[in-house]
Amino acid sequence: MLGNSAGRRDEVGAVSARGFWAGRSVLVTGGTGLVGSWLTKRLLASGAEVVLLVKDVDPRSELVRSGDLARVALVYGSLEDFGVLQHAVNLHQTECVFHLGAQTLVEVAHRYPLATFEANVRGTYNLLEVCRVHGAIVRRVVVASSDKAYGEKAELPYTEEMSLDARHTYDVSKSCADLIAQGYAHTYRVPVAITRFGNVYGGGDLNASRIVPGTIKSLLRRERPIVRSDGSFTRDYLYVEDVVAGYLLLAQALDAQELHGQAFNFSTETRVSVLDLVARLQRLMGATDLAPDVRNTASAEIRHQHLSARKARERLGWEPRFDLDAGLTRTIAWYRELTRK
């Protein structure tokens, strides 16, 4: 924890969230993923009526293991299908939309750009067009962008007024989605705002190609963790429960029209190298004898990324509750429990 006041702040926030979300119909795209599963959990705990757009479901996911899947309404289909999205919003009269659905893997995007652009770009403008058409129903929309949307910058940390200069496939897809959301806010007055996070981690990430789940799984098997880069790449790492808190605070703040079309960075404002992250996991798991296997094969990735979260602190009152060791400890516990089942 970052301080003794964090728990009290969370209790106050939880009461406020229950009062705000109780009885509200909320659509979550990407609800079966890492962030979507935890966001769904918080929304249900706050009394919201949650609708998930579902393409497929992994039985190992947090959404299934927690039993939350049985507590939500499901709409089956993809972001590329305009009719399915219109059905989800219109039939369920979803007042709030959290758009997290995307093709999120950088390596997959590099190998197969078409599917990435279809999901991340077409999927975003499809959903926002549905929100525009049904503006009498939809009162608040939060779209997930990424620190990758900024592209590579000589000056860090990233701040929200910086231009979006992505060059690689995944990064460009997030820049496009980000700009499309801004366009719908400014041109059509859709009540949308944008989140930009760094590397999100936590229990429930089933993509072993990512450094946190991949390293934890290797160490649990007593295998050397694989590092795809040379290990010097630096990133922000943010625990999933802090991410969810950011989403909820931003959505709640969208009654203020001046926030429509704005983007917010969320970060612990601590830049960590890949090798340092692996070393932390080794220490926390008692596996310092397993030296990382550094392969240096990563391509089409930005070397250094770091976000300023000053705007989110000052405008939304958001602060991270978990430092890196605390978040990683909770994450390790989730994967240990998974291996015991």
Q: Which of 51-60, 71-80, 304-313 has the lowest mean pLDDT?
A: 51-60
Q: What is the dihedral of CA 230, 332, 239, 277, to 10 degrees?
A: -20
What 3-state class would DSSP assign to 269? Answer: coil
Of 11-15, 124-128, 191-195, the range with the lowest mean pLDDT is: 11-15
**pLDDT (mean) for 139-151:** 97
What span, in angstroms and rounded, lies between the C-alpha atoms of 221 and 213? 12
DSSP letters for 51-69: EEEES---TTSHHHHTTGG
Where residue 61 falls among pLDDT bands split at 50, 70, 90?
confident
Alpha carbon distance 161, 169 (integer Å): 22
Specify the pTM.
0.93
The pLDDT of residue 261 is: 98
Count Cα atoms within 13 angstroms, Cβ side, for 13: 24
Instruction: Tell me how far apart the alpha carbons of residues 66 and 293 are, in angstroms, rounded to a whole number.
Output: 34
What's the token pair of residue 203? Answer: 């229990």
Catalytic residue IDs: 170
Q: What is the pLDDT of residue 272?
A: 97
Q: 10 Å Cβ neighbour count for 39?
A: 27
Number of residues written out for the chain: 341
Q: What is the pLDDT of residue 74?
A: 97
**CATH topology assigned to domain 5-198+239-268+306-322:** Rossmann fold (3.40.50)
Give the distance, in angstroms, between the CA of residue 155 and the centroid of all CA atoms in the same chain. 24
Q: How far is CA 207 from the centre of its chain?
A: 14
User: Of 270, 266, 281, which is closest to residue 317 (Cα–Cα)?
Assistant: 266
Element (H, E) at 202: none
Residue 17 banded pLDDT, cuts 50, 70, 90: low
Kindly report, residue by residue over 224-263, the tens digit of the pLDDT.
Answer: 999 999 999 999 999 999 999 999 999 999 999 999 999 9
The three-point CA angle 212-218-219 to 5° equals 90
The string of DSSP letters for 150-165 reads G---SS-SB-TTS---
> Can you read off the two tokens belonging to residue 42?
């918080």
Q: Cβ(190)–Cβ(261) under 8 Å? A: no
3-state secondary structure of 122: helix
pLDDT at 269: 96
pLDDT tops 70 at residue 7: no
Q: By percentage, how much of the chain surpasses pLDDT 90?
A: 87
Residue 143 in 3-state DSSP?
strand
